[in-house]
Amino acid sequence: MKRGFQPRCRKCIGLDGTFLKGICKGQLLAAVGKDGNNQMFPIAWAVVGTESKDTWRWFMMILREDLNLGAGSQLVIISDMQKGLISASEEIFPECEHRMCARHILANWSQSWRGMERRKRFWGCARATF
């Protein structure tokens, strides 16, 4: 995956975490990219006991070293507001650009901001910013 990411993917990494609810408990941390066909490209994943700044820092340090990302000067990280993720990314990749995931923003807003028309307008605005 490392050899596939470097020459073929944009320097944009999506980071997210999720609970594991089966036999294995804990959190799954994942990093994905987008390839030349605009398809998701899995980069790395790890299972950790809990999601925290320390586990995100550890995960991103491995990404930085394995992918030769340095301080992240040409890197964009997209995420939601995971526990400790933003502060860990600022520490590990001080020169990267950080963006919030539009789908997660809409999901958070939908709790008090409902309706199909507003949803359509949100996506119209989100697409216009690209």
CB atoms within 10 A of CB 77: 23
CA 125, distance to chain mean position in Å, is 21
- Nearest-angstrom CA–CA distance, 64 and 114: 39
40-70 pLDDT tens trace:
888 999 999 988 999 999 999 999 999 888 8
Predicted confidence band of residue 126 (pLDDT cuts 50, 70, 90): confident
What mean pLDDT, rounded, does the chain reach?
Answer: 83
Predicted confidence band of residue 129 (pLDDT cuts 50, 70, 90): low
CB 111 within 8 A of CB 105: no
Structural domains of the chain in order of their starting residue, each with its CATH number: 2-101 (3.30.420.10)
Predicted confidence (pLDDT) at residue 12 exceeds the cutoff of 70: yes
In one letter, which amino acid is 51? E
107-120 pLDDT tens trace:
766 677 777 777 78
Q: Cα Rg for the chain, rounded, in angstroms? A: 16
pLDDT at 130: 58
Report the candidate in 59, 11, 57, 19 with the shortest Cα–Cα distance to residue 35: 11
- Nearest-angstrom CA–CA distance, 97 and 18: 23
The model's pTM is 0.78
